[in-house]
Structure 1
């Protein structure tokens, strides 16, 4: 990622943070709409899960310039997701739901450049998680 992409992701996430609860609702509603089979991987009460999502996104975004901080957390998350039954094929709809959620939350501030920066961020995050999951298998 370029320094400009890091700045775009961090600046746009700062605009999402005040609506974190709504963003988490939008994300999971969209995910379960486009990938209904993954619903069974989650608890019935999504309150804690939604908080975890926003916390992990916050950690990843804040540390985009410090891979030594974020990579171990993402590797651990990837191994946990694998233990819960997550598969490589689940990462694409998660990414789609994330980009859709950001588009809804940011409105006109979700420019093509911001979209591309987030897509790159998610590709990196998913790549680290999938690699760790594969190593745990």
Structure 2
């Protein structure tokens, strides 16, 4: 990611923070509308799940310029998600739901440049989580 993309992700996420519970609810509504089968992967309280989601995104956003710190955390997160039943194809659906949520939540502040920055950020996040999932599945198979 470029420094400008990181700045755009950070500044737009700062606009999301005040509406974090609403943004999380919108995200899960969009996610489950896109793939109703994903609902079965979530066993707990969805409000708490939404808080965790927003915390994870916030942490990743804060560390986007410190790849050495964020990548190992994302790999571990991806490894944990294997046990929840998350598969590679789910990452596409999550990315689409995330972009749609940001578009709805940010309105006119969700410019084409902000959209591209978030797509780049999510590509980094999802790719790294998938690497962690792949590594975890290799360790299980071994």
Q: Which range, TM-score by smaller chain? A: over 0.9
Instruction: Provide the C-alpha distance between the structure 2 equivalents of 1:71 and 1:59, rounded to a whole number of angstroms.
Output: 12
Unaligned runs of 5+ in 2: 138-142
**Counterpart residue number, 1:56:** 56
Q: Give the Å deviation of 1:116.
A: 0.3
Are 1:23 and 2:26 counterparts?
Answer: no
Are 1:99 and 2:99 counterparts?
Answer: yes
Instruction: Provide the C-alpha distance between the structure 2 equivalents of 1:95 and 1:6, rounded to a whole number of angstroms.
Output: 17
**Counterpart residue number, 1:42:** 42
**Counterpart residue number, 1:32:** 32
Q: Give the Å deviation of 1:47.
A: 1.7
Q: Give the Å deviation of 1:45.
A: 2.2
Are 1:77 and 2:77 counterparts?
Answer: yes
**Counterpart residue number, 1:125:** 125
**TM-score under structure 1 normalisation?**
0.98
Instruction: Provide the C-alpha distance between the structure 2 equivalents of 1:132 and 1:70, rounded to a whole number of angstroms.
Output: 12
**TM-score under structure 2 normalisation?**
0.94
Aligned residue pairs, count:
137
Secondary structure of the residue that 1:65 maps to in structure 2?
coil
Structure 1 residue runs of 4 or more that deviate by more than 2 Å after TM superposition: none
Secondary structure of the residue that 2:65 maps to in structure 1?
coil
Q: Over aligned residues, Cα RMSD in angstroms?
A: 0.7
Instruction: Provide the C-alpha distance between the structure 1 equivalents of 2:17 and 2:119, rounded to a whole number of angstroms.
Output: 18
Instruction: Provide the C-alpha distance between the structure 1 equivalents of 2:82 and 2:51, rounded to a whole number of angstroms.
Output: 20
Q: Give the Å deviation of 1:98.
A: 0.2
**Counterpart residue number, 2:112:** 112
Unaligned runs of 5+ in 1: none
